Amino acid sequence: MNFCSHCGFKDMEFIIPDGDSLPRYVCPNCKTIHYINPKIIVGSIPIWEDKILLCKRAIEPRYGKWTLPCGYMENGETVEQGAIRETEEEANARIEVIGIQSIYSIPHINQVYMVFHSKLLDLNFSAGEESLEVGLFREEDIPWKELAFSAVHFSLKHFFQDRKQGQIQSTRIGFFQMSDRKHNH
């Protein structure tokens, strides 16, 4: 952080404020403490019969890899609204959110994924601005080696495991660490 977003002062201090336990960027001019917290990524598994909707990314990172429709939550929206908005943006698709499918922490890059089960409401989907193509996949057709993110892999793997046991509503919690060579399940 190079300057204070509150007053524009340029010499920020990185110190532990009184009563706190971690160092923060503190503005010596206006005394604002700038907290930097994890970002929430919201997404969903859009289900149509025995298939789910995936998007091929047209943007970095992971250009050309497949992902569930997901993205950064915006201020002023709920997590469900974020999941619906991301699905509209990336796949021009309409969904109804059913429930939470997984919560996935990635502490070394300060991200938390929240992935919902959702019902795809019609088949009028198409590639949005951030997608090269979108499509419906059965379990055996999922491009497992071409998935964009560990959280997507985690969600899909558990989705199909749970579906086999008839537990579409179960919630999985997981994490991924920098030192992990494989996806942590």
9 part of the interface to Zn ion, by CB under 5 A: yes
Of 8-16, 72-80, 125-133, 151-159, the segment contacting Zn ion by CB under 5 A is 8-16
* 77 C-beta neighbours (distance < 10 Å), count: 13
Say how many residues touch Zn ion, by CB under 5 A: 8
Output the smallest distance, CB 29 to Zn ion, in A: 5
Report the residue from 1, 2, 3, 4 that binds Zn ion according to the rule CB under 5 A: 4
Q: What are phi and psi of 66, to 5 degrees?
A: -90, 145
Output the smallest distance, CB 26 to Zn ion, in A: 9
Output the smallest distance, CB 30 to Zn ion, in A: 3
Sheet of strand 33-34, all strands in order from the earlier edge strand to the far edge: 13-15, 24-26, 33-34
Looking only at residues 25 through 64 of this chain, which bind Zn ion when binding is defined by CB under 5 A?
Answer: 27, 29-30, 32
112 part of the interface to Zn ion, by CB under 5 A: no
Give how far the C-alpha of residue 104 lies from the chain's centroid of Cα atoms, to the nearest Å: 9
Task: Output the CA angle 122-172-138, nearest 5 degrees.
Answer: 40
Looking only at residues 61 through 80 of this chain, which bind Zn ion when binding is defined by CB under 5 A?
Answer: none
Output the smallest distance, CB 23 to Zn ion, in A: 17
24 part of the interface to Zn ion, by CB under 5 A: no
| Cα(172)–Cα(162) distance, integer angstroms | 10
Report the residue from 1, 6, 15, 72 that binds Zn ion according to the rule CB under 5 A: 6
Between the alpha carbon of residue 133 and those of residues 84, 125, 148, the distances in Å are: 18, 10, 14
> Which helix H or strand E contains 18, and what residues bound it?
none
Report the residue from 7, 15, 59, 121 that binds Zn ion according to the rule CB under 5 A: 7
| Cα(115)–Cα(4) distance, integer angstroms | 34
Binding site residues, Zn ion, CB under 5 A: 4, 6-7, 9, 27, 29-30, 32
